[in-house]
């Protein structure tokens, strides 16, 4: 019996039944452990990129708010707008940190390392 590939389709003239793009063998994965490692790496990269983008956005908004505060010249409306920008930036940063902590806490309460899904995927595998 031939091994079934993830997302296996008949590509006809495009090269036979090699799977659909890089997901055919999950980048060369032939067992559940390798596939889980690749999946974990993809999720880790996405979370890392989102965290870096959020940090850059926080810094950018903090600089804009501080510049608005410094150039307000005593105008209470401009000071209020600048304060809102700084407060919004800090609130966003706190939400990101708390979300990470909450996911970690829920995972530890359930006994699952949610931030490292490779072990869970391997347990669910055949």
Q: State the Rg of the chain over Cα.
A: 23
Distance CA 24, CA 8 (A): 6
Q: Where are the domains of the chain?
A: 1-30, 41-112
Q: Is pTM, for the whole model, over 0.85?
A: no
Structure tokens at 16: 């036979």
Q: Using the predicted structure, report yes or no on whether residue 12 has a pLDDT greater than 80.
A: no
pLDDT at 125: 65
Q: Using the predicted structure, report yes or no on whether residue 8 has a pLDDT greater than 60.
A: no
pLDDT in tens, 40-68: 888 888 888 988 899 999 999 999 999 99
Distance CA 83, CA 35 (A): 47
Q: What is the mean pLDDT of the chain?
A: 77
pLDDT at 36: 75
């Amino acid at each position: 019996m031939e091994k079934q590939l993830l997302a296996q389709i008949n590509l006809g003239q495009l090269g036979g039944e090699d799977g659909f793009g890089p997901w055919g063998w999950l980048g060369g994965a032939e067992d559940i452990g390798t596939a889980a490692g690749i999946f974990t790496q993809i999720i880790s990269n996405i979370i890392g990129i989102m965290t870096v983008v959020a940090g850059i956005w926080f810094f950018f908004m903090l600089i804009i708010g501080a510049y608005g505060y410094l150039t307000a010249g005593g105008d209470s409306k401009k000071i209020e707008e600048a304060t809102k920008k700084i407060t919004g930036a800090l609130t966003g940063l706190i939400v990101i940190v708390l979300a990470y902590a909450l996911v970690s806490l829920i995972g530890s309460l359930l006994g699952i390392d949610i931030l490292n899904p490779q072990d869970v995927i391997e347990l669910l595998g055949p």
